[in-house]
């Protein structure tokens, strides 16, 4: 997939999120980032360049990668009532970063 197509898909997702945020079904914006846009690209690249075994390893790691996202959501939910929006987002991003680093370190020891 060329770079233009990837940029177009990313821009389309941002546009959809922005449009849905203005509707009465704004909560659907929480689902759109989970659309496997980048996972599809990653799985295609790994599967076509590295083979099935590496693709399967990437898929299993992707399953564990949900944990940092869940840590982000839980921390942001808790912080949303305690901090202003931007500090809450930054703190939740820090939680995600720590959980993601932990996932990578644990995977490397595996």
1 pLDDT tier (thresholds 50, 70, 90) = low
Q: What is the pLDDT of residue 64?
A: 92
Q: Which residues contact 98 (CB under 8 A, 6 or more apart)?
A: 71
Tens of pLDDT, residues 20-68: 999 999 999 998 888 887 888 899 999 999 999 999 999 999 999 999 9
- Got the DSSP string for 82-108? TS-HHHHHHHHHHHHHHHHHHHHHHHH
* pLDDT of 91 higher than 70: yes
All structural domains of the chain with their residue ranges: 52-110
Contact assessment for residue 6 and residue 41, using Cβ atoms and an 8 Å cutoff:
yes
The H-or-E segment that residue 53 falls in is: helix 52-64
Compute CA distances 21 → 18, 27, 32, whole Å. 5, 7, 11
Residue scoring higher pLDDT (12 or 87): 87
Q: What is the pLDDT of residue 81?
A: 98
Place of tokens 């595996």: 110
Residue scoring higher pLDDT (19 or 5): 19
Q: What is the pLDDT of residue 2?
A: 78
Q: What is the pLDDT of residue 9?
A: 82
């Amino acid at each position: 997939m060329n770079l233009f197509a990837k940029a177009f898909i990313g821009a389309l997702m941002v546009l959809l999120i922005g449009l849905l945020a203005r509707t009465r079904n704004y909560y659907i914006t929480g689902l759109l980032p989970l659309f496997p846009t980048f996972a599809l690209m990653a799985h295609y690249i790994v599967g076509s360049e590295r083979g099935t075994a590496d693709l399967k390893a990437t898929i299993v790691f992707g399953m564990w990668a949900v944990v940092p996202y869940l840590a982000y959501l839980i921390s942001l939910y808790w912080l949303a009532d305690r901090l202003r929006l931007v500090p809450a987002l930054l703190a939740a991003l820090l939680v995600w970063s720590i959980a993601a680093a932990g996932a990578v370190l644990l995977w490397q020891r595996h």
